[in-house]
Structure 1
Amino acid sequence: LSLAQAIGYSIHVFNAFKHGLARTGQRRTALVHAVSETGWPLLFSALTTMSALCSFLFIPLRPIRWVGVTGACLVGVTYILVIILLPSLLSFGRDDMPPERQRSGVLACLDRLMEYLGTRVLNRPGLTMTVFGLLSVACILGIFRFEVSFDIRRTFGIGVPYVHRLDYIGHTQVGSLYSYGVALEFDQPGEAKNPEKLKKFDQFIAEIAALPLTKKTTSLVDIVKDMHQVLNNGDPAFHIIPDEREAVAQVLLLYENAGGSEAEKWVDYDYQRLRLMVEIDDYNSGEAVREMGLIQERGRELFPDAKVLLIGSIAQFTVMQDYVTWGQLKSFFVALIVIALLMSMVFGSPTIGLIAMIPNVAPALAVGGVMGFANIPLDMMTVTIIPMLLGLAVDDSIHFINHSQLEFERTGSYRESVRRVFGSVGTALLLTSLVLILCFSAYAASDAKVFVNMSYLVAAGILAALAADYFVTPVLLDRLRAFGPDKTERLAGNRPPDFSGADRAHPGAHFGMEREKI
């Protein structure tokens, strides 16, 4: 992330410096122009990204919180280095008007593409918004399909040798991939020797064994039954729990005197707590949550005088799923609200702030839709993608809207300002987006599916954000008259009410306003 941000910020500074040097031939003047043109947009781009990363603090998992705080700090350091160190390095050199150079083939094609988009993007606003709405609906349908899962096979994939060995052992008769424990804590010591309690516990175990995910169960009941059968000449009819409390105590005493140590795993020294281990060979998050709820409910019915506790990895996963699910929602909405407030402050208008946020919901919808249709689970890694993309996507919106506002102040025409914006920063926005995608695409070479999925999801989110900035943002700015009436309306004397607050002074009104000196 820091590497991609550093390159992306540098592209904007280089782009502004190149244009300034081409106009004046004076390096110092060009640098002043570049910093004034990009300094504020980059600052608020960094602040929005940091805000999105800090929203990870609302996910109650320490590793996720650490990622959020560390990432936010690195983004801040990256901005400081780019805005201070890069201009210092560019200041070395002669003041000289650079010769006219023919753009390379790729850049020339990109320039022509930006020119084409700039002149035609506002021609069919209805079609643009219809396509945006249909794609949003499709992504929302996909969002309802994805699930939270901590299955190591779905997260890392069988291609990882360690996971492959676990999966192989889990499918043998003696092994299992996951397990969890069910514990009963009675009010009084010695209750675990009560035959009635043990028989109810046996019934409880039988019901758990019948659940779809259960592969095998192990508990004190198995030891009591086996010893009772051995003491009765191995008669299978005695593979039951004795009816008398003394008989149960005798069976357990003989087992301990014979050197048996397994009982210590399933009952405590005071015989007040019983434990059952449930092994499963497959994991389904929805089914696991359902079975955990059934076990707790049935346990309270059979043992009203005892506490029913769920322990082990699957029980932890179930709790973590709730943390991740609700933490994701909190993180997303907190990031959305904070970024919307920052955008409104930057441009001095709630209308422009909301316009900036509408297309930036696109990466969240795109990532959620891809996860749902591609059956990619929401886990410890993918939970960080949507809030992070929200902060990254706003960067391009800030640059696009800022330059649109500057060009509108110069031309008074939405169409002309959009055309100029595509010509000045359109290619830079595309290149910064490609840099982000290429940086995260390094994860595609990993053997772990979680990193491969991350590279695909980030690419989908960045492309969705770029497409929204290219097509949706200009339409919204034009149709909602975000900066005030068009010059044709002024000439006609038909000035509609200005609800955007664009006439008021605000910090964003002078982003990079290196006035006609350049």
Structure 2
Amino acid sequence: IEENGWPLLFSALTTMAALFSFLLIPIRPIRWVGVSAASLVGVTYLLVIILLPSLLSFGKDREPENRYAEKEDRLLERILDRLGHRILSRPKIILVLFVLFTVICLLGISKFEVASDYRRTMGLKIPYIARIDAISKTPVGSLYAYDVAIEFVRAGAAKDPENLRKFEQLVDEVKTFELTKKVGSLLDIIKDMNQVLNNEDPAFYRIPERREMIAQLLLLYEQAGGVEAENWVDYEYQRLRLMVEISDYNSKEATRELRLIEQRAKALFPGAKVVLIGSTAQFSVMIDYVTWGQMRSFFIALVVVGLLMIVVFGSVKIGLIAMIPNVSPALAVGGIMGFAGIPLDIMTVTIVPMLLGLAVDDTIHFITHYQLEYARTGSYKTSTRRVFKTVGVALFLTSMVLVLNFSAYLASLAKAYIHMGILVPVGILAALAADYFMTPVLFDYFRPFTKGEQQKK
């Protein structure tokens, strides 16, 4: 406990800080995941630090044996020992490769997009999604839709010919949008009734000139048993509704079209209240929440973890070096998402903060033991070999366990879980590689440990 107590404590604190950053994303399920996961980490730490030593204390004490130290090193220990010996002999190659890795990942990050398309997040192998997709490709079906509601200041304004013509102008503009498949509104009923009452003359498929005529057409429609009008206008004729069904989903284009509709509606009806509703509008708002929430949560978690690192190791230089392995998973995951076309959705948004919490644990243990070995030997080269041979083995094994656990998601039919089964192992391996290669090289270059470290021996 004396030797590993502080690393365990700060590993728990940094992991909890990374998970609590989910609270910055204003989506309730993600917030719940952050709070519950952080709480479980805290409970696990208490069990490890209190219950585990108590359980290990059972049994009789005996004299320590040195036979294990005399045994021949295991294969993994020999491999990591050789790796630790060779890393410091090629620092320039490692730095160049890391810079190249960073540039490539940044290019990938610039390509990834935020999306909430069922077909991209879940995949067509899910029967329910496949049926929805099949229906959406028929002339009468659509995958997504949104509504535009316009509320006038006074009752009866929805019968005014001037307002209906402005509404028709808005509908005609919506029909020209790239994603629009078909639209529905009160205008269809008024135009159909006007044409029917004028001997089916196509020239009368238009809005009547007089308000009284519009009122008579709507009254006649209701008396004839028509019920669809109530879907497009309220009883007081103060609110109009336009439904837009879209043929496909593109997050950027959908957001652009929704903003354009809102701007045009407000320009055509200055005194009216314009509201966008429906699944597509909700996705557009959620995309903003996910995007900015993800950025805020990651950078705030990064700052908090960085400050904790500085406190843990008592050095700004060591704390900043320690952040390299914690940034590497975000770079790797973001790069793969961009190049592979994996969208940032409600599932993938949780990956980077989670990886930050996982990566920081390994970093703390690696640097803590490195600091301890330097205090014993006073040599960066010797410390590197000893750390690789001891804690390096433990980091490799724990990382492989996590990689295998998350790789089980690859057997899922849902793309969201398959993406997690790819991205999380990649992030874990990126953090491990940064611990193995970048941390020793940076320690040897910046020489952050002083002679006072040897006094801890």
1:230 is aligned to 2:196: yes
- Contact between 2:325 and 2:432, CA under 8 Å: does it hold in 1? no
Structure 1 residue 108, shift from structure 2 partner: 2.4
- The counterpart of 2:233, out of the listed 256, 267, 270, is 267
- Give the C-alpha shift of residue 101 in structure 1: 6.9
Query: Match for residue 437 of structure 1?
Result: 403
- Identify the residue that residue 247 of structure 2 maps to in structure 1: 281
- Measure the CA separation in 1 of the matches of 2:351 and 2:321: 23
Partner of 1:459: 425
Report the AA paired with residue 206 of structure 1.
D
Contact 2:112 2:337 in 1 (8 A): yes
Gaps (5+ residues) in structure 2? none
Q: Secondary structure at the match of 2:182?
A: strand
C-alpha offsets along residues 19-45 of structure 1, whole Å, 9 cap, x if unaligned?
A: xxxxxxxxxxxxxxxx33322212211
Structure 2 distance, partners of 1:160, 1:104, is: 53
Which residue pairs with 1:325 in the alignment? 291
Q: State the secondary structure of the residue aligned to 2:273.
A: strand
> 2:160 is matched with which residue?
194
- Partners of 2:329 and 2:161 lie apart in 1 by 60
Q: 2:323 aligns to what?
A: 357
Q: Distance in 2 between matches of 1:99 and 1:92?
A: 22
CA-CA distance at 1:304 after TM superposition: 2.2
- Please report how far the alpha carbon of residue 96 of structure 1 lies from its aligned counterpart in structure 2 after TM superposition: 6.1
Which residue of the other structure, out of 147, 155, 162, is the alignment partner of 2:128?
162
- Partner residue, 1:340: 306
> 1: distance between equivalents of 2:136 and 2:5?
56
Amino acid corresponding to residue 178 of structure 2 in structure 1: P
Gaps of 5+ in 1: 1-34, 486-501
SS of residue paired to 2:4:
helix
Shift, 1:283, TM fit: 0.1
Rounded Cα–Cα distance in structure 2 between residues aligned with 1:103 and 1:49: 37
User: What is the match of residue 59 of structure 1?
Assistant: 25
Match of 1:77 among 13, 20, 43: 43
Q: Alignment partner of 2:151: what SS?
A: strand
2:139 alignment partner, one of 157, 173, 192? 173
SS at match of 1:361: helix
Match status 1:303 vs 2:279: no
Partner of 1:9: none
| 1:210 paired to 2:176 | yes
Classify 1:376/1:409 alpha carbon distance in 2 versus 1 (closer, same or farther; 3 Å). same
Cα deviation, residue 156, structure 1: 0.5
Name the amino acid aligned to 1:75: V
Q: CA deviation at 1:102?
A: 11
1:313 correspondence with 2:279: yes
* SS at 2:3 equivalent: helix
- The CA deviation at 1:78 is 1.3
SS at structure 2 position matched to 1:182: strand
> Is 1:119 the equivalent of 2:82?
no
Partner of 2:187: 221
Match of 1:49 in 2: 15
**Compared with structure 1, are the counterparts of its residues 426 and 117 closer, same or farther at alpha carbon in structure 2 (3 Å cutoff)?**
same
**In the alignment, which of 426, 433, 446 is matched to residue 480 of structure 1?**
446
Deviation at 1:300, TM superposition (A): 2.2
> Partners of 1:37 and 1:161 in 2: how far apart?
54
How far apart are the structure 2 equivalents of 1:476 and 1:216? Answer: 60
Residue aligned with 1:274, SS:
strand
Partner residue, 2:334: 368
Q: Does 1:128 align with 2:94?
A: yes
Q: Find the partner of 1:471 among 425, 437, 440.
A: 437
Q: How far apart, in 2, do the equivalents of 1:460 and 1:103 lie?
A: 37
For residues 351 and 373 of structure 1, the distance between their equivalents in structure 2, rounded to whole angstroms, comes to 34
C-alpha distance in structure 2 between counterparts of 1:242 and 1:104, whole Å: 98
Q: Determine the C-alpha separation between the residues in 2 that align with 1:281 and 1:113.
A: 56
1:256, 1:186 → 2: CA distance?
22
* Residue deviations 1:173-211 (CA, integer Å, cap 9, x gap): 111110000111112211100112112211211110111
Q: Which amino acid aligns with 1:175?
A: G
1:185 aligns with 2:151: yes
What CA RMSD, in Å, does the superposition of the two structures yield over aligned residues? Answer: 2.0
Between the aligned partners of 1:394 and 1:416, the Cα distance in structure 2 is 24
What SS class does the counterpart of residue 248 from structure 2 fall into? Answer: coil
Query: Quick one: which amino acid aligns to residue 377 of structure 1?
Result: P
Deviation of 1:54 (Å): 0.2
Q: Which amino acid aligns with 2:281?
A: A
**TM-score scaled to structure 1, two decimals?**
0.85
Question: Once the 2 structures are TM-superposed, how far is the Cα of residue 99 of structure 1 from its aligned partner?
Answer: 8.6
- Judge conservation of contact 2:325–2:359 (CA < 8 Å) in 1: no
Residues in 1 aligned to 2:274 and 2:401: alpha-carbon distance in whole angstroms? 53
Q: Match for residue 23 of structure 1?
A: none
Taking the aligned partners of 1:333 and 1:341, their CA distance within structure 2 comes to 12
Asked whether the equivalents of residues 406 and 424 of structure 2 are also in contact (C-alpha less than 8 Å), the reply is yes
Task: Check whether the contact 2:371–2:453 (CA below 8 A) recurs between aligned residues.
Answer: no
Q: Is the CA contact 2:17–2:304 (under 8 Å) kept in the aligned structure 1?
A: yes
Equivalent of 1:412 in 344, 355, 378: 378
Deviation at 1:293, TM superposition (A): 1.6
Deviation of the 1:281 alpha carbon = 2.1
- CA deviation string 1:161-181 (max 9, x = no partner): 111111111111111110000
- 1:375-454 correspondence runs (5 A): 375-454=341-420
Partner Cα distance (1:257, 1:139) in 2:
65
Residues 494-505 of structure 1 aligned to structure 2 (within 5 Å): none
* Deviation of the 1:357 alpha carbon: 0.4
Q: How many residues align?
A: 456
CA–CA distance in structure 2, aligned partners of residues 386 and 241 of structure 1: 55
Which stretch shows the higher mean deviation, 116-125 or 216-225? 116-125
1:104 Cα offset (Å): 12
CA distance in structure 2 between the aligned counterparts of 1:398 and 1:503, rounded to whole angstroms:
17
Deviation at 1:111, TM superposition (A): 1.0
- Where 2:235 maps in the other structure, the secondary structure is coil
Q: Distance in 1 between matches of 2:66 and 2:371?
A: 31
Question: Secondary structure in 2 aligned to 1:342?
Answer: helix
